[in-house]
Amino acid sequence: MTRAFTFPGQGSQAVGMGRELAEAFASAREVFGEVDDALGQNLSKLMWEGPQEDLTLTENAQPAIMAVSLAVIRTLEKEGSFVLSDKAAFVAGHSLGEYSALAAAGSFTIADTARLLKRRGQAMQRAVPVGEGAMAALLGLEFDQAAEVASEAAQGEVCAAANDNGGGQVVVSGARKAVERAIEIAKTKGAKRSMLLPVSAPFHCSLMQPAADEMAEALGGVDLKSPSVPLVANVTASRVADPATIRDLLVKQVTGMVRWRESVLYMEAEGVSSFVEVGAGKALSGMVKRIAKEPEILSVGTPGDVEAFLKTI
């Protein structure tokens, strides 16, 4: 069986995330400690105790979601002699999850990944003043239809498809008024439901260019090794292993669309039949189920999940 390991993005955060892992495994506690030390912040306390509104802040949610994913990977390695490169054909992550995937595959250290994601979150928040941008989910429209809706709604402002999540779920991003127009237009095009998302900035559109420029600088100062497992990149929906190319794609990813549907189809075409979501929540598992044909889907985020998964390998 050919497996791909996937890593979730923003929206998967919840108060209490990772606490059971830390209580059950010293290896997980080590990871949370490394992240806290790298950031000079007691992020693990915020993850476990809240408040939710602080955890949801982009600069906190991004490193927190990564920390849980890497705590799972470290625990699999320590508890079951798990070696990612022996078990995975590909790694892939949704938006910030791409950093988690690369850290899992040894491209970044956990400390560098935490600092990069903290800065990424801050840069994305700074790029557009609060209230001026928005994102909306258009449900029940295929990608081409949603892209047409975004184009029609733009009217000289920015409005573009940001996440192609598959199964008739496309997220658009841009100037708030343009995104609000997209919601209304989508209703006339047959969308089952369209709604604004509770995010603080319009991710994955051209309004994020200042954040992309900042991440180019940040990534330029960090050691980036070739991953032990090829990455299926958000921007290209195809494999990449060259460090210079990965660095370039991580910069482009800030303004570029997350091509998740195409990424899953690419991995399936390459022989992947089992998708393992690593970390908090099961959002990616739901997406994969809508995209791939009869995939095996596993989620590994709790001590029980870890123990069950180790019995399968």
DSSP states of 45-66 = HHHHH--HHHHHSHHHHHHHHH
The single residue of 12, 194, 200, 204 carrying the catalytic annotation is 204
Tokens representing 52? 């939710």
Closest to 237 (Cα-Cα) out of 219, 268, 264: 264
Tokens representing 306? 């870890």
The single residue of 95, 173, 274, 299 carrying the catalytic annotation is 95
pLDDT, position 200: 82
> Cβ(260)–Cβ(94) under 8 Å?
yes
Topology of domain 3-127+207-310 in CATH is Malonyl-Coenzyme A Acyl Carrier Protein; domain 2 (3.40.366)
Tokens representing 74? 């470290």
Is 204 labeled as catalytic in the residue annotation?
yes
Buried-exposed string 83-94: b where 16+ CB fall within 10 A, e elsewhere = ebeebbbbbbbb
> Is 11 exposed, middle or buried (CB count within 10 Å of its CB: 0-12, 13-18, 19+)?
middle
pLDDT, position 78: 96
pLDDT band with cut points at 50, 70 and 90 for residue 164: very high
In one-letter notation, the amino acid at residue 116 is L
pLDDT, position 21: 98
pLDDT, position 279: 98
DSSP 8-state class, residue 208: G
Report the 10 Å Cβ neighbour count for 187: 14
What is the reported pTM? 0.97
Q: What is the mean pLDDT of residues 175-183?
A: 98
Residues pairing with 123 in the sheet: none
The pLDDT tens digits for 42-91 are: 999 999 999 999 999 999 999 999 999 999 999 999 999 899 999 999 99
Query: Which CATH number describes the domain made up of 133-199?
Result: 3.30.70.250
**Domain ranges (residues) in the chain:** 3-127+207-310, 133-199
What number of residues does the chain have? 313
Whole-Å CA distances, 74 to 67, 82, 301:
10, 9, 12
pLDDT, position 150: 98
Is 226 labeled as catalytic in the residue annotation?
no
Q: What is the mean pLDDT of residues 3-30?
A: 96
